[in-house]
Amino acid sequence: MTDRFRTSRRGLLTLGTAAVAGTAAGTLTACGSDADAPTEAPAMVAFGGARQAGIATAQQDRLAFAAYDLTVDGTPAQNRDALRELLKTWTAAARAMCEGKPVPGENKLGTAPPADTGEAFGSKPANLTVTIGFGPSLFDQRFGLAAKRPAALADLPKFAGENLDTENSNGDVAIQACSDDPMVAFHAIRNLARLGRGTVVMRWSQLGFGRAASTSAKQETPRNLFGFKDGTRNIHDAKTMDRWVFVGADTDQKWMRDGSYLVARKIRMRIEAWDRDFLTDQQNVFGRHKYTGAPLTGGSEFDKPNFAAKNPDGSPTIPVGAHMRLAARENNGGVQILRRAYNYTDGMIASSGELDAGLFFLCYQRDPRSQFVALQRKLSAHDALNEYITHVGSGLYACPGGVGDHEYWGQSLLAD
């Protein structure tokens, strides 16, 4: 057996199939010839690096997100040790999964549950990224980490109109797993939960589909569940990422250097009410044309909106309450955020028969206080979109910088 087969999910599957079928020799011959055949390189995103993958990475099609709470009850030093062990185990597992390998630690005697739950055997990583963030609650008295809490990790304020479910909000640690294969993204979240049993419990989770943002100029702009192109004026270039997304040397906490702050908002969208609205009204809500994505002031999708333009009757062509006018950098002192949203559906609401669906809005930034919070204060007060949406879940997480080859997530946070 080649090394490739010893470590790849595909190898494990092939071996398993051979054992079950009882035709090991034939299958292994087939394996041998398969291994020798030229194969297409699987789509993989490097796990290690100065910055975590899954932030600036070209956005994948599927999301599995989960927030976990630690269940430790020792002294701060003992709890830190438990957290450190968890993060070491999780890092090794996440690294392996991103490389298309099974979760390490298989007990070959078969006297323990399999190290890997198995549903992704035979699947390629499909650009899997696994990104970690730490919530404000991790800096309470349990771990003795209060002095390491960054000022930018200030609790989010209450916003007008939100109706947050605390059971679907917050959490000590959050994991964002993105892949072009939904099984692979889910597998990552599930296996981290399993490995953490006894130290963490999952607090809330969300699956997302049909990315509703583009984080690279090479990607076509996708659509949200209201049928509009979403991500047209997202951040797409490295220089703007450096300025608005990644934490620089000026941070108050060294462990956050090259990290970023993630704000997650689960936003319910009233799809049935929206679908009854006239096309011109829908377009006025966003300030863009539905089919082309162009601003209401004309041109094509990527043309600059003209916020000063007026209709013949003197009213602004992009209405004062249009989502795009309110959120645009031109009208917010230049402020930008990196949007990495996904559409979601949780089925239907039994009491009304309406779809329970919306946008799982994820955004990354250098400092949420002057970025997400400033924008959301304005949007929550004036956005025409508010008639159709409600924020129902929320989380804020400090995502540290990336890991080197022999490092684990959060190593510099936990260094004494």
| Residues contributing to the site for ligand L6N33NVT (CB under 6 A) | 224, 226, 228-234, 265, 267, 269, 286, 288, 323-324, 327-329, 337, 358-359, 361, 372, 375-376, 379, 389
Work out how close the CB of 320 gets to ligand L6N33NVT at its nearest, in angstroms, rounded to a whole number.
Answer: 15
> What's the closest the beta carbon of residue 345 comes to ligand L6N33NVT, in angstroms?
13
Shorter beta-carbon distance to ligand L6N33NVT: residue 62 or 233: 233
Cα separation, 76 vs 197, whole angstroms: 20
Per-residue HEC secondary structure of 266-334 comes to EEEECHHHHHCCCHHHHHHHHCECCCCCCECCCCCCCCCCCCCCECCCCCECCCCCCHHHHHCHHHCCC
CB of 274 to ligand L6N33NVT, least distance (A): 10
Provide the minimum distance between the beta carbon of 358 and ligand L6N33NVT in the complex, in angstroms, as a whole number. Answer: 6
Q: In the bound complex, what is the minimum distance in angstroms from residue 236's beta carbon to ligand L6N33NVT?
A: 11
User: In terms of CB distance, is 361 or 408 closer to ligand L6N33NVT?
Assistant: 361
Q: Running DSSP on this structure, what letter comes out for residue 229?
A: B
CB half-sphere exposure, 245, CA atoms < 13 A = 24
Question: In this complex, which beta carbon is closest to ligand L6N33NVT, that of residue 170 or of residue 336?
Answer: 336
Nearer of residues 286 and 408 to ligand L6N33NVT, judged by Cβ: 286
| Residue 231 C-beta: closest distance to ligand L6N33NVT, Å | 5
CA 320 to chain centre: 31
**Cβ contacts of 150-153, under 8 Å, gap ≥ 24:** 150/251, 150/252, 150/253, 150/256, 150/398, 151/252, 152/247, 152/251, 152/252, 152/256, 152/261, 152/366, 152/367, 152/368, 152/369, 152/398, 153/261, 153/396, 153/398
Give the angle 66-68-72 at the CA atoms, nearest 5°: 165
51 vs 288 by CB, closer to ligand L6N33NVT: 288
Is the Cβ of residue 171 or residue 287 nearer to ligand L6N33NVT in the bound state? Answer: 287
